[in-house]
Amino acid sequence: MIGCDCAVCRSPDPRDQRLRSSIYLETPECAWVVDTGTDFRTQALRERIRRLDAVVFTHSHTDHIMGFDDLRRFGAIRGSMPVYAAAETMADLRRVFRFAFEAENPFPGYLKPEPHIVDGPFELGATTITPLPVPHGHATVNGYLFSRDGVKLLAYLSDCSEVPEASAAQIAGVKALVIDALRPKPHPTHLSVDQALAVAERVRPEMTYFTHIAHELAHAAEADLPPHARMAYDGLKLEL
């Protein structure tokens, strides 16, 4: 947090040094990122990402889209960049990054988005991606379920203030649940730690990982979590 001297902001634990929430997924067929936040360039350089075949968006808040133009490097490698988002999110991307979407003759190396509206499950390679509508305060945003060969591998719910029964049922028994857990006390647009744990009790994943964590919550708080729950941290890698 800019200008903050709290215990977490001064923590020597590198896991307390957090950039914006995002995930990068790689399969034998292709690789994609969910959201391009303000720190996307820094994250891509840190993780030495060399391949990106698509980008999937949860919603259009600035902390999830403002690294969009840094997709140009990957677009230059492959010629264009498939972009998947709900209609409202896509409309915001088109407005904010009009220079990319409406360029008739972009210079070599510039970003050429290929828009794909998400209104149901779709596939990237052999992975089925199912949108999971969830409330984020007064807005509705998409989480996503990633499945292969009918196996529910990963559910990603980075920004939500609750998880409706329909979405919870879709991800029941998932191997890994990555879920919003902003801080210990309630928040109007995000889940608290207790609320996130309550969702995990309903979903019954093999493992739960908290994300979108604010500076009111130190990584050391993981010691107080149930055995099936962990605090995610920047650079965490899972093999599923």
pLDDT at 97: 97
Kindly state the average pLDDT of the residues 44-69: 97
Return the sign of the alpha-carbon dihedral for residues 127, 130, 135, 141.
positive
Distance of CA 58 to the CA centre of its chain: 7
Q: How far apart are CA 136 and CA 1, in angstroms?
A: 22
99 within some domain: yes
Q: How far apart are CA 224 and CA 232, in angstroms?
A: 14
Q: What is the DSSP string of 86-126?
A: -HHHHHHHHHHTHHHHT-SSPPTTS--EEEEE-SS-EEETT
pLDDT at 79: 87
Which of 119, 150, 175 is a domain's end point? 119
Average confidence score pLDDT of the chain: 96
Kindly state the average pLDDT of the residues 68-95: 95
Other beta carbons less than 10 A from residue 185's beta carbon: 10
Q: Does residue 56 carry a pLDDT above 90? A: yes
Q: How far apart are CA 73 and CA 5, in angstroms?
A: 36
Pairing of strands 23-26, 151-157: unpaired
Which of 61, 92, 119 is a domain's end point? 119
Domain shared by 130 and 216, yes or no: yes
Domain shared by 201 and 156, yes or no: yes
Q: What angle do CA 61, 62, 67 make, to 5 degrees?
A: 125
Burial bucket for residue 115 (CB in 10 Å: 0-12, 13-18, 19+): middle
Domain shared by 179 and 95, yes or no: no
Confidence of residue 76 (pLDDT cuts 50, 70, 90): confident
- The DSSP output letter for 206 is S
Domain shared by 79 and 108, yes or no: yes
Q: Does residue 45 carry a pLDDT above 90? A: yes
User: Quick check: 67 and 41 in contact, CB under 8 A?
Assistant: yes
Nearest alpha-carbon partner for 115 in 98, 105, 101, 99: 101
pLDDT at 203: 98
69 within some domain: yes
pLDDT at 104: 76
Domain shared by 79 and 192, yes or no: no
Confidence of residue 37 (pLDDT cuts 50, 70, 90): very high
13 within some domain: no
Distance of CA 182 to the CA centre of its chain: 14
Other beta carbons less than 10 A from residue 15's beta carbon: 17
Domain shared by 34 and 98, yes or no: yes
Which of 119, 137, 152 is a domain's end point? 119
The reported pTM is 0.96
Q: Does residue 109 carry a pLDDT above 90? A: no
Domain shared by 130 and 82, yes or no: no
How many residues are given for the chain?
A: 240
pLDDT at 108: 74
Distance of CA 222 to the CA centre of its chain: 21
Predicted confidence (pLDDT) per residue in 169-200, tens digit? 999 999 999 999 999 999 999 999 999 999 99
Kindly state the average pLDDT of the residues 12-22: 97
Domain shared by 36 and 144, yes or no: no
Domain shared by 127 and 227, yes or no: yes
Number of domains in the chain: 2
User: Quick check: 21 and 212 in contact, CB under 8 A?
Assistant: yes
Domain shared by 191 and 218, yes or no: yes
12 within some domain: no
pLDDT at 211: 98
CATH of the domain at 240: 3.60.15.10
166 within some domain: yes
Residue range(s) defining the domain that contains residue 55:
22-119
7 within some domain: no
Question: Does residue 171 sit in helix, strand or coil?
Answer: coil
Kindly state the average pLDDT of the residues 92-119: 90
Predicted confidence (pLDDT) per residue in 209-229, tens digit? 999 999 999 999 999 999 999
Q: How far apart are CA 123 and CA 237, in angstroms?
A: 22
Kindly state the average pLDDT of the residues 64-73: 96
Confidence of residue 54 (pLDDT cuts 50, 70, 90): very high
The percentage of the chain sitting over the pLDDT mark of 90, rounded to a whole number, equals 94
pLDDT at 110: 85
Beta-carbon contacts of residue 238 (< 8 Å; ≥ 6 apart): 154, 176, 209
pLDDT at 107: 73
User: Quick check: 202 and 208 in contact, CB under 8 A?
Assistant: no
